[in-house]
């Protein structure tokens, strides 16, 4: 290709980056608003019909399976997105599914074996946890199919998929969940919804992605290579899951389901406020992967970096505004959503509101580093913040109650963000010293 034509194409590609990101963000935001809105309605329905204890049991079993899902996914979902976005490499799909199923089955066995030994859990909660652990099998299929959609930037299809899943789950809960409903029935509903979601994801991939039918080939060498490459991302996922759900685990274990339910209400509101953040960052990640592989990056790379920097500024502005709103209206919001029974979670939500600001830095910089195949700084940051969170909760819970959990999450997130800012600055300084654009390592 003529060098002048190549440069022109690079400029066109980068000028369209903002449009692509905006379009993908719009689709993902719509999907997040729909799915998270339905998830919030689902949690409210559980809280209203099953009370504080029911919500606490639900939060505990879903947190355990959330940890299991991220562990058994083994980082292959992010690897699929990165490789499809950068090189349209479909060779990892079947290998990823085999790896995920291979890790899911032992995890399910451990849940059945160890669940009865968990302290402060009723026999129904144990049975519900065992039943819902079976969802890791359809979740493995869903993870591979949904990652493929995101990797080829079919955000519209991914949006409809998430909305459909959320609507189905809420519809089933509305019909079958009543004040005296067992947590086991709820677990069965969750399992059925995951199975339906996996089937829908498969159908969308086969219809929407050209050549998807021919992509299902693999070899032992490919599986071994996949495990080697995804292991760092898998460790990140495990640390991230443990960090995000540690508070629920500890509260449910040491304080009981009621305390976990109260905290879960506040956490649910805070997490719902991240809808826009997650949508924009999910849309940016394929572009980050392409930029770090040098695709469409040349003389116009400054435009790419400008788009990324502008996105961070937008995220920080929204985070500050949302944090202030949650702080000011925490009490009325909790009562309106979950009922007077959850007014005790007001103090926790006022603390958690400010987690949004450092969390914005953490999520953005983690994706920048992950796209550049720099997983070690993210691991170090997650490991350090997890230790800090565990220490604050362990030392503060007997004296300050659930407030210790809120302060622990805030301090841990600030430390994580500061660590990642330092790591990113070091990486940028190193890249400026190189004579050419820093390109991440290829798959092979």
pLDDT value for 21: 58
Q: Mind listing the pLDDT tens digit for each residue in 396-411? A: 877 787 788 889 889 9
HSE-up of residue 349 (Cα within 13 Å, Cβ side): 29
6-11 average pLDDT score: 37
* Token duo for residue 55: 């919500």
- The pLDDT mean for the chain works out to 77
pLDDT value for 30: 58
Q: How confident is the model at residue 129 (pLDDT cuts 50, 70, 90)?
A: very high
Q: Where are the domains of the chain?
A: 3-432
Separation of alpha carbons 279 and 31, rounded Å: 8
Q: Which residues contact 432 (CB under 8 A, 6 or more apart)?
A: none
Residue 302 contacts residue 238 (beta carbons within 8 Å): no
Q: How confident is the model at residue 40 (pLDDT cuts 50, 70, 90)?
A: confident
Q: How confident is the model at residue 354 (pLDDT cuts 50, 70, 90)?
A: very high
| More confident site: 9 or 102 | 102
pLDDT value for 22: 60
pLDDT value for 127: 92
Residue with tokens 């980056």: 17
HSE-up of residue 129 (Cα within 13 Å, Cβ side): 28
pLDDT value for 148: 83
Q: What is the CA radius of gyration of the chain?
A: 22
Conformation bin of residue 331: beta by default, left when phi > 0, alpha when psi is -120 to 50: alpha
Tell me what percent of the residues of the chain surpass a pLDDT of 70: 79
């Amino acid at each position: 290709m003529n060098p002048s034509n190549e440069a022109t194409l690079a400029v066109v590609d980068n000028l369209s980056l903002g449009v692509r990101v905006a379009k993908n963000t719009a689709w993902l935001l719509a999907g997040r608003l729909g799915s998270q809105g339905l998830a919030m309605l689902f949690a409210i329905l559980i809280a209203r019909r099953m009370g504080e204890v029911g919500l606490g049991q639900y939060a505990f079993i879903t947190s355990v399976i959330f940890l299991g899902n991220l562990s058994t996914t083994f980082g292959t979902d992010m690897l699929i997105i990165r490789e499809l976005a950068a090189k349209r490499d479909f060779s990892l799909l079947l290998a990823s599914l085999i790896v995920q199923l291979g890790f899911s089955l032992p995890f399910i066995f451990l849940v059945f074996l160890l669940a009865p030994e968990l302290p402060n859990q009723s026999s129904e909660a144990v049975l519900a946890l065992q039943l819902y652990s079976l969802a890791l099998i359809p979740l493995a299929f869903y993870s591979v199919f949904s990652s493929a959609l995101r990797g080829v930037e079919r955000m519209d299809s991914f949006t409809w998929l998430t909305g459909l899943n959320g609507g189905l789950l809420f519809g089933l809960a509305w019909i079958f969940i009543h004040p005296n409903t067992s947590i086991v029935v709820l677990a069965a509903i969750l399992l059925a919804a995951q199975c339906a979601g996996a089937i829908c994801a498969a159908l969308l991939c086969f219809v929407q992605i050209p050549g998807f039918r021919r992509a299902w080939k693999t070899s032992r060498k490919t599986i071994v290579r996949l495990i080697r490459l995804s292991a760092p991302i898998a460790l990140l996922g495990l640390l991230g899951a443990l960090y995000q759900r540690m508070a629920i685990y500890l509260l449910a274990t040491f304080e009981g389901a009621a305390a976990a339910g109260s905290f879960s209400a506040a956490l649910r509101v805070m997490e719902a406020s991240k809808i826009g953040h997650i949508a924009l960052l999910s849309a940016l990640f394929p572009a980050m992967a392409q930029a770090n592989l040098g695709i469409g990056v040349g003389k116009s790379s400054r435009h790419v970096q400008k788009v990324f920097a502008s996105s961070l500024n937008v995220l920080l502005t929204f985070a500050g505004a949302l944090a202030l709103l949650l702080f000011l209206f925490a009490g009325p919001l909790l009562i309106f959503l979950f009922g007077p029974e959850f007014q005790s979670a007001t103090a926790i939500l006022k603390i958690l509101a400010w987690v949004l600001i450092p969390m914005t830095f953490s999520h953005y910089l983690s994706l920048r580093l992950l796209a550049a195949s720099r997983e070690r700084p993210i691991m170090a940051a997650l490991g350090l913040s997890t230790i800090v969170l565990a220490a604050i909760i362990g030392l503060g819970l007997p004296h300050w109650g659930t407030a210790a959990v809120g302060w622990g999450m805030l301090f841990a997130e600030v430390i994580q963000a500061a660590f990642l800012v330092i790591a990113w600055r070091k990486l940028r300084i190193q890249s400026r010293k190189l004579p050419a654009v820093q390109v991440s390592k290829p798959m092979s």
